[in-house]
A = this chain, B = another copy of it.
């Protein structure tokens, strides 16, 4: 009965993985480039990336021999919502939340994506 929140929060609980996510904010990256700033074996980083992908926080797409890692911010949103109003995470509300996100997306698509300040 491992909830999606379990894997997301567990993935976020590691500083290396949080650092990776922060790096991916900048841009998509290849596995080797993700690993470069860390004093850790490439295989170790590869495992961390697999965990992040398992939590849905990133996706990986192989082009040629390079596997590109891409941030998936939506996975964070569910966790963020839980934190802000934890308690109201019954399935009903999750469904509603998904509909909400879709509605929001459509709105974003038709309106200006940023309300900059």
Contact = CB atoms under 8 A, between A and B. Distances in A.
Q: How many copies does the complex hold?
A: 2
Contacts of A3: 15
A104 B94 contact: no
Contact of A96 (B2, B83, B101): B101
A9 B6 contact: no
Contact of A87 (B13, B73, B85): B73
Contacts of A66: none
Nearest to A101: B96
A109 to B, nearest CB: 13
A43 interface: no
B103 A89 contact: no
